[in-house]
Amino acid sequence: MPTCSPPPAAGGGGGERGRPPARPAEPVSARPAAPAGPPGAGGLDGLDAEQAAAVAVTEGPLLIVAGPGTGKTRTLTHRVARLVTEHGVAPEHCLALTFTRRAAEEMGERLAALLPGRVARPTIATFHSLGLSILREQHERVGLSAEFGIADEARQAELLAAEGADGYRAALRRADLVDFDDLIALPLELLETDEELTAAYRDRHRWISVDEYQDVDERQYRLLRRLAPPDGNLTAIGDPDQAIYGFRGADVGFFLRFREDFPTARTVSLTRNYRSSARVLAAAAQVIAPATLVPGRELLPLGDHGDAPVTLHAAASEAAEATFVARTVEELLGGASFHARDSGWAETAGSEGLGFSDFAVLYRTDRQAGAVAEALARVGLPFRKRSHDRLADRPGVARAVAALDGGDLPLAGQLAEVARRAKDDAEVLAAVELLLPLAERCGGDQARFRDELALGVEADSWDPRADRISLLTLHAAKGLEFPVVFVVGCENGLLPLRMPGAEPDPEGDAEERRLLFVGVTRAQRHLYLSYAAERLRHGRVRPAGRSPFLDGLTDVARVATTVPRRRTGGTQLKLM
């Protein structure tokens, strides 16, 4: 079994922190795709020619550059399924890695539908759940028991306060605990210091697929280099123009240098977008063009998503922007409340077959949700709010978990009892709502529940079956899609985000531009981009200017804040 060469430094071969040197942006286009036959034209059921080309590669390193809405998960799961069903690869030798539990569950569901019922399932994990499984197997080597726990934020703070930073790790081990960072750091340390152990895991995971490869950080990258030799069967799929986690240590440079790390790698590009209208994709192309990391970037619209214009809305204030969102939702629904019908807001548009769950409002910071939530609640529109924060760290979660009685009742039932006892405690009730999907999956398995709670993010609890408008941070919206998307707060200082008076940061602004690109490409049929003339920030109302990221937009409908039309005559509701 060949051994892996020592991992290069994070910045090697690509400028600071592994990023490529600055270069002029390549042209980006969104044009109708040339006729290429229906999905399956490449000879593989349900796949288009580009997807089929990626699935057909069965050995060696493979890089798949997959634009938004191009069927990335479909391609990855079909590739794994065909390795098992047609090429004799044992499922236990297949490992698929991603970054969120929600993405791992989706991948698992799709694979289950593709594989015969009696066939064993490949391992599908997040990086941190893989690290946890390695530590469970190798616990004695790092001085832990088989039942070690994962310290939440409160426990970490307690240990830091008791012994300081120098004694923190030792205190964790004495308490039979690890923290979130340990879940990658400790397995990496084991593999980098034990070639025999590395060989054993390489033998187990002979075919590795990594989703969202643009989001790996240095430790995750080094872990992959230990698991996959330079000529190994490693498939990396992702889009560098959707690299949005640099603030957490992710380094898009590792995606860009893949062919240096794996010299025999083949590359396939997925450019056919099945998600969004041509107008949405044209706007996305114009947003990302100044900072694209994909040479010759193309976004080719396929499918019928209508011809609604992209709307650019200038609001007088944050409250006016939120009112515009609520009004537009009601218009597209055909009038969802008595107030909408009575005010005349909902007289100009039909429902288009839309429901509440077809709408999403995206924003850069969690604080921006407040005004939107207030405007929606005022007219009786149901909504649910999610961020990309750690689930265990959300307000009320620790108290809700502490209140579980540990009895024989399934966890969902225990949480229902917690909610009943909690009564005008809003934080605990909100936490119970967040935890219920996880509790239902875990049944009565307390250990699994606590492990997955420690690993999960709030967005993992997003349920597509809930008929509510989604309020999401732009980070939490990654991987989702909606017929109607509002991106609010498109202002200089919010998007790109920077403190008042701070100087522009070219590297940070490039990531912020990619974040807007992610938000724009969540939309299928209708896209609204809005900004306010003033907004409450850092304790006071401040003037706001339009984001420079909107400057390249050409084919947009421009509207300004308007006052809702008042009724004339009597006060009787028109509905009556």
221-277 tens-digit pLDDT: 999 999 999 999 999 999 999 999 999 999 999 999 999 999 999 999 999 999 999
DSSP 3-state of 310 = strand
Q: Among residues 221, 250, 272, which one ends one of the domains?
A: 272
User: Beta partners for 234?
Assistant: 208
Phi, psi of 273 (to 5 degrees): -95, 120
User: Beta partners for 558?
Assistant: 312
Mean pLDDT of the chain: 85
- Domain containing residue 383: 308-388+465-576
Q: What percent of the chain has pLDDT over 70?
A: 86
Q: How many CB atoms lie within 10 A of CB 353?
A: 8
Residue closest to 346 by CA, chosen among 370, 367, 328: 328
Looking at the predicted structure, is the pLDDT value of residue 389 above 60? Answer: yes
Looking at the predicted structure, is the pLDDT value of residue 339 above 60? Answer: no
To the nearest 10 degrees (0 to 180), the angle between helices 182-192 and 218-227 is 40
Q: What is the pLDDT of residue 342?
A: 45
On whether both 209 and 315 belong to a single domain, the answer is no
Q: What is the pLDDT of residue 242?
A: 98
Distance of alpha carbon 475 from alpha carbon 453, whole angstroms:
19
Between 20-34, 228-242, 338-352, the lowest mean confidence (pLDDT) is in: 20-34
Laid out side by side, the sheet with 469-473 consists of 383-386, 469-473, 359-363, 482-487, 523-532, 310-315, 556-560
Residue 44 pLDDT level (bands cut at 50, 70, 90): low
Q: What is the pLDDT of residue 502?
A: 80
420-451 tens-digit pLDDT: 888 778 888 888 888 888 888 888 888 888 88
User: Beta partners for 492?
Assistant: 545
389 CB burial (10 A radius; 0-12, 13-18, 19+): middle
Does an H or E element contain 531, and which?
A: strand 523-532
* All residues at 6 or more sequence positions from 139 whose CB lies less than 8 Å from its CB, including other chains: 145, 146, 148
Query: How long is the chain?
Result: 576
On whether both 150 and 109 belong to a single domain, the answer is yes
Residue closest to 415 by CA, chosen among 455, 393, 443, 382: 443
Please indicate, yes or no, if residue 303 is contained in any of the structural domains: no
Q: What is the pLDDT of residue 351?
A: 55
On whether both 222 and 237 belong to a single domain, the answer is yes
Range 385-413 average pLDDT: 81
User: Beta partners for 178?
Assistant: 150
264-307 tens-digit pLDDT: 999 999 999 999 999 999 999 999 999 999 999 999 999 899 99
Looking at the predicted structure, is the pLDDT value of residue 112 above 70? Answer: yes
* 404-417 burial code (b ≥16 CB/10 A, e <16): beeeeeebbebbee
End-to-end CA distance of the chain, in Å?
78
DSSP 3-state of 391 = helix
Q: What is the pLDDT of residue 420?
A: 85
Q: What is the pLDDT of residue 350?
A: 47
**What is the per-residue DSSP string for 249-278?**
TB-THHHHTHHHHSTT-EEEEE-EESSS-H
Please indicate, yes or no, if residue 277 is contained in any of the structural domains: no
Q: What is the pLDDT of residue 349?
A: 42
On whether both 87 and 179 belong to a single domain, the answer is yes
Please indicate, yes or no, if residue 8 is contained in any of the structural domains: no
Please count the structural domains in the chain: 3
Q: What share of the chain is helix, strand, coil (3-state, %, to 5)?
A: 45, 15, 40
Residue closest to 232 by CA, chosen among 272, 201, 254, 192: 201
What is the tally of helices (H) and strands (E) in the chain?
19, 21
Residue closest to 191 by CA, chosen among 359, 3, 343, 454: 3
Between 507 and 343, name the one with better pLDDT: 507
Q: 366 is written with which tokens?
A: 């969690």
User: Beta partners for 209?
Assistant: 96, 235
CATH, residue 560:
3.40.50.300
* DSSP 8-state symbol, 493: B
CA distances in angstroms from 456 to 35, 95, 176, 213, listed in the order given:
42, 20, 21, 19
Between 20 and 557, name the one with better pLDDT: 557
Contact 179, 150 (CB under 8 A): yes
129-176 tens-digit pLDDT: 999 999 999 999 999 999 999 998 888 989 999 888 889 999 999 999
Q: 567 is written with which tokens?
A: 């009724």
On whether both 57 and 155 belong to a single domain, the answer is yes
Q: What is the pLDDT of residue 344?
A: 42
CA distances in angstroms from 291 to 156, 303, 549, 570, listed in the order given:
39, 27, 10, 56
Which residue matches tokens 């051994």?
Answer: 3
Residue 484 pLDDT level (bands cut at 50, 70, 90): very high
Q: What is the pLDDT of residue 3?
A: 32
Contact 234, 210 (CB under 8 A): yes
Q: What is the pLDDT of residue 192?
A: 97
Between 464 and 58, name the one with better pLDDT: 58
Phi, psi of 523 (to 5 degrees): -85, 135
Residue closest to 7 by CA, chosen among 202, 262, 201: 262
Q: What is the pLDDT of residue 166?
A: 86
404-416 tens-digit pLDDT: 877 778 888 888 8
On whether both 399 and 381 belong to a single domain, the answer is no
Q: What is the pLDDT of residue 280?
A: 98
Please indicate, yes or no, if residue 86 is contained in any of the structural domains: yes
Looking at the predicted structure, is the pLDDT value of residue 202 above 50? Answer: yes
On whether both 438 and 476 belong to a single domain, the answer is no
Residue closest to 293 by CA, chosen among 65, 53, 551: 65
Q: Among residues 272, 296, 320, which one ends one of the domains?
A: 272
Distance of alpha carbon 354 from alpha carbon 228, whole angstroms:
46
On whether both 118 and 266 belong to a single domain, the answer is yes
DSSP 3-state of 498 = coil
Q: Among residues 253, 272, 291, which one ends one of the domains?
A: 272
Please indicate, yes or no, if residue 5 is contained in any of the structural domains: no
Q: What is the pLDDT of residue 204?
A: 96
Residue 27 pLDDT level (bands cut at 50, 70, 90): very low
Contact 47, 75 (CB under 8 A): yes
Q: What is the pLDDT of residue 441?
A: 83
Range 496-522 average pLDDT: 91
On whether both 484 and 426 belong to a single domain, the answer is no
Looking at the predicted structure, is the pLDDT value of residue 575 above 80? Answer: no
Please indicate, yes or no, if residue 61 is contained in any of the structural domains: yes
504 CB burial (10 A radius; 0-12, 13-18, 19+): exposed
Please indicate, yes or no, if residue 11 is contained in any of the structural domains: no
Looking at the predicted structure, is the pLDDT value of residue 40 above 50? Answer: no
Contact 134, 190 (CB under 8 A): yes
Please indicate, yes or no, if residue 1 is contained in any of the structural domains: no
Residue type, 101: R
Looking at the predicted structure, is the pLDDT value of residue 14 above 70? Answer: no
On whether both 154 and 211 belong to a single domain, the answer is yes
423 CB burial (10 A radius; 0-12, 13-18, 19+): exposed
Q: What percent of the chain has pLDDT over 90?
A: 61
Distance of alpha carbon 493 from alpha carbon 458, whole angstroms:
25
On whether both 400 and 368 belong to a single domain, the answer is no
Between 38-47, 379-388, 465-474, the lowest mean confidence (pLDDT) is in: 38-47
DSSP 3-state of 120 = coil
Q: 475 is written with which tokens?
A: 């980070």
Q: What is the pLDDT of residue 282?
A: 97
CA distances in angstroms from 285 to 22, 68, 295, 311, 497, listed in the order given:
20, 11, 13, 16, 21
On whether both 171 and 94 belong to a single domain, the answer is yes
Q: What is the pLDDT of residue 514?
A: 98
